[in-house]
């Protein structure tokens, strides 16, 4: 009798252990499958649609990641048709300094200052959608910009306060990386001026821009942008659409760009709506953009690990 009881107890223990082992294996497999699924979702994001946060002047969907700071310099010489006396524009220069910071992987803020019209600018860029390999065919970001020119008011402009010096630009950035070599972007834009020169000019202007990047070597790419300005948007100004061409060069943490454009202004409403020259008349500004990224997240992690 005792022998039968002992044999029954042993068989019960073996059966129970087998069930627990099976449950543990199933749980482990479920965790592994969840981990693989999450990793696939991360890996499905299309990276580096562009290598810089702008083409020539037009902004791209790229932005600094969380806790990353970007310092950028945009520099334009004078017009090529200034002739040999001005060394074809090299004697003159316009410059913009900017700082962009990633508050998160989706949200970045920026500030800048341009010597042209002594303009200060503040911006916000929010990534609405990432391009993925299997579901979302486009990367989409929202870009908001406010600019204020701070030139000294003339005696016949006593009304030129902060309100009338400020304008706003809203852009929806829609981009797609088609191949490792080719990426394109379409940008519908809205520009609002609090003050325009005459009653014939529009306070609100809607326009469309396109930009692209074609990779030609491992570290070099051709870039181009076209900002289409509808006719008679600002009839008193005699302005034109802007076209920009350039060459991207990646050098470690830097992105260096040689650029040509008929736009002297480098932010918001200036390159979109304030171009008085054309390529046909050689009103072309040669210059360069250079950006440098700084990140602290890895250093902070190492420091915390050291404290532990």
Q: Which CATH number fits the domain that encloses residue 169?
A: 2.40.160.40
Question: Does residue 95 sit within a domain?
Answer: yes
- Cβ atoms of 115 and 130 within 8 Å: the answer is no
Which pLDDT belongs to residue 32?
A: 40
Could you tell me if residue 245 is inside a domain? Answer: yes
CA 47 to the chain's CA centroid: 13
Indicate if 25 and 82 belong to the same structural domain: no
Do residue 16 and residue 72 come from a single domain?
Answer: no
Whether residues 84 and 218 share a domain: the answer is: yes
Domain check: are 207 and 94 in the same one? yes
Q: Which H or E element spans position 269?
A: helix 268-273
Ramachandran angles phi, psi of 162, nearest 5°: -60, -40
Residues 181 and 290 both lie in one domain: yes
Is 6 in the same domain as 97? no
Residues 163 and 257 in one domain: yes
- The domain tally of the chain equals 2
Low-confidence stretches of the chain (pLDDT beneath 70): 1-43, 155-159, 297-308
| Cβ burial 44-72 (10 Å sphere, 16+ → b, else e) | eebeebbbbbbbbbbbbbbbbeebbebeb
Task: Answer yes or no: do 4 and 63 share one domain.
Answer: no
Write down the pLDDT at residue 13.
45
Has residue 308 been placed in a domain?
Answer: no
Do the domain assignments include residue 278? yes
The whole-model pTM stands at 0.80
Residue 154, domain member (yes or no):
yes
Q: What is the pLDDT of residue 83?
A: 78
Claim to verify: residue 12 and residue 138 sit in the same structural domain: no
Tell me, yes or no, whether 109 lies in a domain: yes
Whether 207 and 170 have beta carbons less than 8 Å apart is answered as no
Identify the pLDDT of residue 21: 45
Say what the pLDDT of residue 70 is. 94
pLDDT digits (tens, 9 = 90+) for 190-223: 999 988 888 888 889 999 999 999 999 989 999 9
Read off φ and ψ for residue 206, nearest 5 degrees: -110, 135
Q: Is there a domain that residue 275 lies in?
A: yes
| Whether residues 195 and 258 fall in one domain | yes
Residue 163's pLDDT is what? 81
Residue 307 domain flag? no
Containing domain of residue 33, as a range? 1-43
Helix (H) or strand (E) holding 42: helix 2-43
One domain for residues 34 and 160 = no
Q: Are residues 160 and 243 in the same domain?
A: yes
pLDDT score of 42: 53
């Amino acid at each position: 009798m005792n022998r039968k009881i002992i044999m029954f107890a042993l068989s019960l223990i073996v059966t129970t252990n087998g069930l627990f082992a099976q449950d543990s294996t199933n749980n482990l497999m479920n965790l592994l499958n969840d981990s693989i699924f999450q990793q696939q979702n991360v890996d499905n994001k299309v990276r580096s649609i562009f290598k810089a946060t702008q083409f020539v002047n037009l902004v791209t969907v790229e932005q600094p990641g969380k806790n990353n700071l970007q310092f950028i310099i945009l520099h334009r010489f004078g017009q090529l048709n200034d002739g040999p006396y001005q060394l074809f524009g090299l004697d003159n220069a316009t410059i913009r300094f900017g700082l962009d910071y990633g508050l998160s992987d989706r949200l970045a803020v920026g500030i800048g200052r341009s010597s042209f019209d002594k303009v200060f600018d503040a911006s916000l860029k929010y990534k609405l959608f990432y391009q993925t390999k299997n579901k979302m065919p486009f990367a989409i970001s929202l870009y908001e910009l406010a600019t204020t020119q701070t030139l000294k008011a003339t005696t016949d402009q006593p009304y030129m306060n902060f309100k009338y010096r400020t304008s706003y630009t809203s852009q929806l950035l829609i981009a797609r990386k088609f191949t490792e070599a080719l990426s394109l972007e379409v940008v519908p834009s809205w520009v609002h001026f609090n003050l325009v020169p005459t009653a014939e000019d529009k306070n609100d202007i809607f326009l469309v821009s396109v930009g692209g990047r074609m990779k030609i070597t491992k570290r070099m790419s051709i870039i181009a942008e076209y900002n289409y300005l509808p006719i008679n948007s600002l009839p008193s100004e005699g302005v034109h659409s802007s076209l920009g061409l350039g060459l991207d060069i990646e050098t470690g943490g830097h992105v260096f760009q040689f650029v040509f454009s008929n736009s002297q202004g480098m932010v918001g409403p200036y390159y979109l709506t304030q171009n008085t020259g054309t390529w046909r008349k050689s009103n072309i500004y040669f210059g360069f953009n250079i950006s440098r990224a700084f990140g602290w997240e890895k250093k902070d992690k190492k420091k915390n690990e050291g404290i532990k």
